[in-house]
Amino acid sequence: MKIIQTILLLMLMAPSALMAQIVPFEAVRMALDGKEQARIDSDIRIMGYVINAQGNSNVLHNPQHATRYTEVNLKDIRKVMYLESSDARYGFRLEFETDKDAGTLKRYSLATISLNGTMIRKEYGGFVISGLTKDNVIDQKEGTAESFPRKYRAVSEVTSDDIFTFVTLTDCEFVFKDGAYVNVHETYTIRTEKNAHCHANGMMDGWGSLIYDKSGQPVYMMLNSSCLWRRDGKGVPQGAGTVSGIITDTPLARYYGEDVERTLQIRPMNRKDFAMEGESNWRSICEWNWSDNVKTIHTTSGDVEDAAKETVVADHGKGGLAVEIEGSVTRRKEPNNPSLDSKVENAELGFYDYGALNVSASSCNFWDWSKDRGLGLVLNFSTKGIKGTNLILAFSFAAGNGKSERCLGYPVYWCVEYSTDGVSYARVDDTDYVLNTLPYWRENDVYGVSYPTSLECGMGFTEHLVRLPEALFGKKDVFLRICPSQKKVGSMAFTDRDRVAMRPELDVLTNVSFGSIAVRYNR
C-alpha cells in the first residue's frame, strides 16, 4: 500500500483531498505500517514549530566514523532540524541535503513542510524525514520563544512519543554537582577553543551527566564537546528546578555499553535551558567525592596513601567504605570532578589530581571463588531516626588508566546488593551496570599488538542511580555492595568489546576507579 493511501485511510479522507493536504504528525508516523522506511511521492504536508536554530552544537550525537573510531563526524549536525506538532505531542527529525537548505528554517517559526520526494524512516524510537531541500519549505511564519508551545513533564512521564520534541523536565537537579556539565578528559575530545592547549586527538565527542527529579527518577543530560558552554568555569547549577531540551533515543555504546537497553536522553540547546535556582529536593546520608585535590585517603585509622583493608570515612555525613578486593586502593589522576579553578594543576585538562578512588588488582581478585560471588565496595551507614522517601544510591565508575595494558581484564557487569546485618545480601534489582574503559592511546602495545581505540572507550566516568528499598529506612545498620555480578571481563578487540571468562588463574593487572558515591533520600 502506498504511503499516501495509508494516510488517507487513517484520516478517512475523501479521494478529492489528495493534493497539498496538511496531515497530522500521527498519520505520517503510522504510515510506515511496520516498514523500516518508505518514500513519499505525493504532496502531503505537515505543519509544526521549529525547535532548534540551525547549527546548534547539541542537536545530534556526533558519531565516530571509520572502524578505529578516532575521527568525529561534525558535518551532519548542521543539516539537522527538528519540527514538533502544534500541540507539542509528536516530533520529527528533519535531515536536509545541505546545511544551507537547513538554514531555511528559523527557530520558533510555524513552518509548513512538503514531504514530496522525501524518505521517512524509524530510527530507534524516533521518526526521521530525510532528503529535504529548501524547496520543501512551503511556508514559514516567524515565532518567538513566548509563542513556542511548551510541554512540561516529570521524568517518569516521558515516553517514546516525546522523542524529537522539546520538553521541560520539572523538579530536577544534577546528581553530582562538582565540576562541569560534561566531566571528561579534554585530551580525548575534539579540538575546540576550550581545549586548544591540549593534544586533542578527536577520538570522541559527547558525554552525559545524570539528572534526577524529586521522586528519584533519573535521565541522562547529553552534551557534545563542541558546546563551548559545557565547561565555562561556572560549574553546574547547585539547586533544583527545570531543564529543557530535545528528547532523544540514541544508542551510545561508550556510555551505556552495547548490550544495555537504551534510555531516553535530554539534549539542552543552551545554558539558558537550565533553571535550577530552587532548594534541593534531597538530603545526604553519606558521600565520597574525592574533590579536595589531595593524595591521601581519610580512614578510621588516619590519613593514608593506600587504603587497602582500611575503612574510608565519608566526606559528608556519616558512613564507611571498605574495599573487599585484594590489591592497592589509592587516589589517582582521573577525569572525575573537573576543576573549575585555573590555579589547580591539570585544571586545563578538565580534572583534579587524585579525583577518584582507584583499585589496582589482578582480574581474578574481583571474585570470591569460595563463595562464588563478586567482590567490590561495601558501604556502611545508619538510617536510624531518618524518615523520608526515595532512598537512592548514586555512583560513577570507569575502568583502565589510559594505558592499553590496563584496559582489559576488568569485570564488565556490576550490580548493587543490600543487607542490614552485613552477612546476608540481596540484589536491589536485576540491573547489570556495564563498566567501560577510559580511553587509551592506540600506539600503546599489548603483548606486541597495537590496538585501535575501542568503540566502547569513554571520555569519563559513567554515572548511575539505584533506587533502594524503602524498608531500609529506620535501620541501625545498612550495608550496600557495589560488586561484579558475572564472571565476565573485558578484552580489547578490533571492533566491539569481547567477553572473556574470569578464571582463578587470570592474573591480569587491571584498574577500576570509583568517582563520586552518594546515599541520599527525599526530604
Q: What is the pLDDT of residues 420-444, one digit of tens each?
A: 999 999 999 999 998 988 877 655 5
Q: What value does the mean pLDDT take over residues 481-490?
A: 94
Q: Which residue has the higher pLDDT, 196 or 117?
A: 117
Flag whether pLDDT at 466 surpasses 70: yes
Flag whether pLDDT at 135 surpasses 70: yes
pLDDT digits 0-9 by tens, 56-67: 999 998 877 655
Q: Point out which residues pair with 440 in neighbouring strands.
A: none
pLDDT digits 0-9 by tens, 305-317: 999 999 999 999 9
Write the CB contacts of 87 (distance below 8 Å, at least 6 apart in sequence).
149
pLDDT of amino acid 288: 96
pLDDT of amino acid 444: 55
Alpha-carbon distance of 343 to 278, in angstroms, equals: 30
pLDDT of amino acid 508: 86
pLDDT of amino acid 226: 87
Average pLDDT in the chain: 86
Please list the alpha-helical segments (H only) found in 12-98.
25-30
Q: Which residue has the higher pLDDT, 458 or 82?
A: 82
Flag whether pLDDT at 186 surpasses 80: no
> Cα torsion at 455, 358, 289, 252 (round to 10°)?
10
Alpha-carbon distance of 223 to 384, in angstroms, equals: 40
| Predicted structure pTM score | 0.91
Q: What value does the mean pLDDT take over residues 95-123?
A: 96
Looking at residue 5, the DSSP 8-state letter turns out to be H
Q: What value does the mean pLDDT take over residues 490-516?
A: 77
pLDDT of amino acid 131: 97
Q: What percent of the chain has pLDDT over 70?
A: 83
Flag whether pLDDT at 344 surpasses 60: no
Residue linked to cell 561556572: 234
Q: Which residue has the higher pLDDT, 109 or 208?
A: 109
Write the CB contacts of 97 (distance below 8 Å, at least 6 apart in sequence).
79, 131, 132, 133
Looking at residue 440, the DSSP 8-state letter turns out to be -
Flag whether pLDDT at 121 surpasses 80: yes
Flag whether pLDDT at 118 surpasses 60: yes
pLDDT band at 36 (very low <50, low <70, confident <90, very high): confident
Phi, psi of 509, rounded to the nearest 5 degrees = -70, 125
pLDDT band at 18 (very low <50, low <70, confident <90, very high): very low
pLDDT of amino acid 9: 46
Looking at residue 258, the DSSP 8-state letter turns out to be T
Flag whether pLDDT at 497 surpasses 60: no
pLDDT digits 0-9 by tens, 146-163: 999 999 999 999 999 999
pLDDT band at 2 (very low <50, low <70, confident <90, very high): low
pLDDT digits 0-9 by tens, 230-270: 887 788 999 999 999 999 998 877 777 655 566 899 999 99
Alpha-carbon distance of 102 to 341, in angstroms, equals: 39
pLDDT of amino acid 23: 95
pLDDT of amino acid 451: 61
CB atoms within 10 A of CB 255: 24
Flag whether pLDDT at 202 surpasses 90: no
Which range, of 18-27, 84-93, 169-178, averages the lowest pLDDT? 18-27
Q: Is 312 exposed, middle or buried (0-12, 13-18, 19+ CB in 10 A)?
A: buried
pLDDT band at 31 (very low <50, low <70, confident <90, very high): confident
Range with the largest mean pLDDT of 26-35, 87-96, 171-180, 352-361: 87-96
pLDDT band at 183 (very low <50, low <70, confident <90, very high): confident
